[in-house]
Amino acid sequence: MNSLSAAEEKRLSKFMSLVLRHQPETIGLTLDASGWADVDDLIRRANRKGVALTHDMLRYIVTHNDKQRFRLDETGQRIRASQGHSVPVELGYAPATPPEFLYHGTVAKFMNAIQAEGLQRGSRHHVHLSADRTTAEHVGARRGQPVILTIRAGAMAREGYAFYRSDNGVWLTDEVPAAFIASLQEK
């Protein structure tokens, strides 16, 4: 498959995020303990629910998704989301030493809570951080005018906070206490 329309790619990516990160039960899909699903089962169940999906379309989404949200195993028979799950999964990422600074994109309406409580994972498994400001800006812009937070990740790691790096380069941690938020910059 050479390409999908931008609208079709977005629609399928959102569908795959829903069933591989949050609600596999909406199509009767089962994820294993590490978040993997059988590709043939995903395609069969998606089609039964009226979502046209083929092996070529799925591979296109995995390969071309700008955030590399999904990953096929080495056999191409299993797929999972790289991070962002609200269902219980163990992704198996090893602790990693983060760079001195990481970034988080958000919007102004959350700033009072962030200043009081830091960044909390909420219903997800981890707080997501970016290695560069541009990515954080893009993430924050999904909900409005972005505010970019600079996180003193190196200092956090030296204080014993664990960091993990997902397959698509997103940095993950359980929380970011307000004391480790170095600066705030509204775009």
Residue 56 inside a domain? The answer is yes
d(CA 87, CA 56): 27
d(CA 186, CA 48): 45
Average pLDDT over residues 36-47: 96
Do 57 and 114 belong together in one domain? no
| pLDDT category of residue 184 using cuts at 50, 70 and 90 | low
Which amino acid is residue 165, in one-letter code? Answer: R
Tokens 């169940």 locate to: 45
Summarised one tens digit per residue, pLDDT across range 127-147 is 889 999 988 888 888 888 889
pTM for the structure as a whole: 0.68
Residue 167 inside a domain? The answer is yes
Tokens 């509204």 locate to: 186
| pLDDT category of residue 171 using cuts at 50, 70 and 90 | very high
With beta carbons less than 8 A apart as the criterion, state whether 57 and 5 touch.
no
Summarised one tens digit per residue, pLDDT across range 58-69 is 999 999 877 788
| Cα atoms found within 13 Å of the Cα of residue 172, Cβ hemisphere only | 20
| pLDDT category of residue 1 using cuts at 50, 70 and 90 | low
What does each C-alpha distance from 76 to 22, 32, 45, 97, 183 come to in angstroms?
22, 16, 18, 30, 42
Q: Which domain holds residue 57?
A: 6-81
d(CA 115, CA 49): 43
Average pLDDT over residues 19-32: 94
Summarised one tens digit per residue, pLDDT across range 96-129 is 999 999 999 988 888 888 888 999 887 677 888 9
The structural domain count of the chain equals 2
Q: 55 pLDDT exceeds 90?
A: yes
| pLDDT category of residue 34 using cuts at 50, 70 and 90 | confident
Closest CA to 144 of 167, 114, 110: 110
pLDDT value, residue 103: 95
Residue 16 inside a domain? The answer is yes
Q: 165 pLDDT exceeds 80?
A: yes
Percent of the chain exceeding pLDDT 90 equals: 55
Q: Which long-range contacts (CB under 8 A, 24 or more apart) does 121-125 make?
A: 121/174, 121/175, 123/86, 124/84, 124/85, 124/86, 125/83, 125/84, 125/85, 125/86, 125/89, 125/91, 125/172
| pLDDT category of residue 183 using cuts at 50, 70 and 90 | low
CATH code for the domain in which residue 177 is found: 3.20.170.30
Q: Are strands 78-81 and 70-72 parallel, antiparallel or unpaired?
A: antiparallel
Of the ranges 17-21, 91-95, 157-161, which one carries the lowest mean pLDDT score? 91-95
What is the average pLDDT score of the chain? 89
Do 138 and 178 belong together in one domain? yes
Residue 87 inside a domain? The answer is no
